[in-house]
A and B are shown apart, each in its own frame.
Chain A
Amino acid sequence: MTMTLETEPSKLPLHEEHLLKGARMGDFGGWLVPLFYTSIMEEHTAVRTKAGLFDISHMGEFLVEGPGALSYLEKNLPRRITPVKFSQAIYMPLVNDQGGMVDDIIVYRMAEQKFLIIVNAGNIAKDFAWFNARVPRDVTVTDMSEDMGLLALQGPLSQTILLECFGAFYKDLRRFHYKDFEGGVIARTGYTGEDGYEIMIPKTKLKQVWDILFRVGEKHGLLPIGFGARDTLRLEAAMPLYGHELNDEITPLEAALEWAIDLTKHEFPGSTILKNQKLKGVQKKRIGLEMTERGIPRQSFEIQKNGKTIGSVTSGSFIPTTGKNIGMAYVKTAEAIAGNTIDVMIREKPVKAIVVSLPFYKRSQS
């Protein structure tokens, strides 16, 4: 067995708290993060049945403000921003001039001309350059990533825990809406397929919030959740991960993110190419797959049909709650049909799988 050596990654603001809770730390895109505390199996299950708390302070935050902020974002983002209300957030890909995805982001409208944008940690520098390359003189884009921390409280009991900690003020918070909280926000968003909240606050207040959530959450079964379970949860919910399902060459249409762009709005970067692609149809498509023979699909494994390459795996894992081996992949559009039998090449051998519709997991509505 071989193991990889670590370089010098950045530490999370709550690094010591993670060690106190027994975390196994590991590298994630240049950050030293908790991979798991007890086990991925246990943590995945906790989020599906009770509640879990994630430290995702590695994520980036930009503030976009100034008299021209609205028109600047309206011109450069692929969804309509004007209808987004002050208490609302909206998910979308950031599209380059070729129609590929620079990142996927959440835009919070804080005021008429003030927006907060959450970006992926690994893309902070690239996104900041992208925003600044297009910014007019009456708008400023500030990278707040160094100052802000982000926690995610996820799972069916997350509302109970949140209200017990911070009061009924947050009771009527609807999905993709937020309210002010301690110099930041609490938003009803997440990356697990469960009900839940993301709490963005200055790093100086992070430990206090972490502590109170555990003090109250403990009796409800709240567990700290590492990046291992974060990945199995988002995979099961079929949420794309940048660097896996999304990159600079893949378009939102190929990624099945047409719902997160608006081709009826005026021009935005890549819009002409995307409209054209929509007319002609995409060559490849994001699919879900489930192994029917023994094997776990992993990123970059080739997919074949009758001995011919038809695509490759972008994410794959064993799923703790179902025991299934599942993955997401891009395959030629003609093969992207639910029920289609395909071969995943695992260590040079074809292993059977079927194409399934996404998501793999959908929570029951309460």
Chain B
Amino acid sequence: MNFPENLRYTKTHEWISVQGAKAKVGVTEYAQKEISDVVFVELPKLGTAVQQAKTAAVVESVKAAFDIYAPVSGKITDANKALESNPGLINQSPYADGWLFELEVSNASELNSLLTAAQYLEAVEQAPKH
């Protein structure tokens, strides 16, 4: 499975890509496989303040809804509206076209708590197998 080196990860399977004060967030390849076909996405509203490790978006498969947590606290500056009509982008392109939202990082020190690609890979390998 592909976990790009330039991203940071959470144990709850979100990725974050930091560019200056802003950061894009999505779910990992492992997560999209676990969720299976994404059929519905609920995105955060622009301007919403989100807190680290609290629900910021919801991704649903045919069978279940999954909360997506904000990897760090911040204010929502953009959301990937293309997902509303084409939620399958999350399965097809979890790290690019399937991004979920962008936020302005409010506390950069929170980034230190996130996992590197290698640490995330290790966490995934310890996860229970189906």
Contact = CB atoms under 8 A, between A and B. Distances in A.
Contacts of A179: none
A317 B64 CA distance: 8
A167 B77 CA distance: 65
Interface string B27-68: 100010011110110100000000000000011111111111
Interface string A25-41: 11000000001100111
A88 B65 CA distance: 41
Contacts of A40: 36-37, 61-63
Q: Which of under 10, 10 to 19, 20 to 34, or 35 or more describes the interface residues of A?
A: 20 to 34
A296 interface: yes
B14 interface: yes
Nearest to A39: B37
Candidate in B62, B66, B68 with the most chain A CB atoms within 10 angstroms: B62
A24 B62 CA distance: 14
B99 to A, nearest CB: 15
A3 interface: yes
A317 B63 contact: yes
Contacts of A39: 36-37
Contacts of B62: 40-41, 228, 232, 317-318, 320
A24 B128 CA distance: 13
Nearest to A35: B63
Contacts of A232: 62
A279 interface: no
Interface string A1-27: 111011000000000000000001110
A40 B34 CA distance: 13
A231 interface: yes
Interface in B64-114: 64-69, 84
Interface string A312-336: 0000011010000100000000000
Interface string A273-300: 0000000000000000000001110100
B130 A26 contact: yes
A5 B130 CA distance: 10
Nearest to B66: A1
Nearest to B69: A1
A6 B35 CA distance: 16
Given A1-B31, A3-B34, A294-B40, A228 B69 contact: no
Given A25-B130, A36-B36, A318-B40, A1 B63 contact: no
A6 B128 contact: yes
Contacts of A6: 128
A347 interface: yes
A294 B34 CA distance: 23
Contacts, number: 60
A2 B37 contact: no
A192 to B, nearest CB: 15
A296 B67 contact: no
A296 B36 contact: no
A1 B60 contact: no
A1 B27 CA distance: 8
B17 interface: no
Contacts of A320: 62
B34 A296 contact: no
Given A1-B14, A317-B63, A347 B42 contact: yes
A275 B38 CA distance: 46
Contacts of B13: 1
A318 B39 contact: yes
B69 A231 contact: no
A2 B66 contact: yes
Contacts of A36: 36
Nearest to A298: B65
A296 B37 CA distance: 14
A294 B68 CA distance: 18
Given A1-B68, A40-B37, A41-B37, A231 B63 contact: yes
A70 B46 CA distance: 67
B12 A325 contact: no
Contact of B39 (A26, A231, A296): A296
Contact of B128 (A5, A231, A317): A5
A220 B69 CA distance: 44
Interface of A: 1-3, 5-6, 24-26, 35-36, 39-41, 228, 231-232, 294-296, 298, 317-318, 320, 325, 347
17 contacts: A1-B12, A1-B13, A1-B14, A1-B34, A1-B35, A1-B68, A2-B12, A5-B128, A24-B36, A40-B62, A228-B36, A228-B63, A294-B84, A295-B42, A296-B65, A317-B63, A318-B60
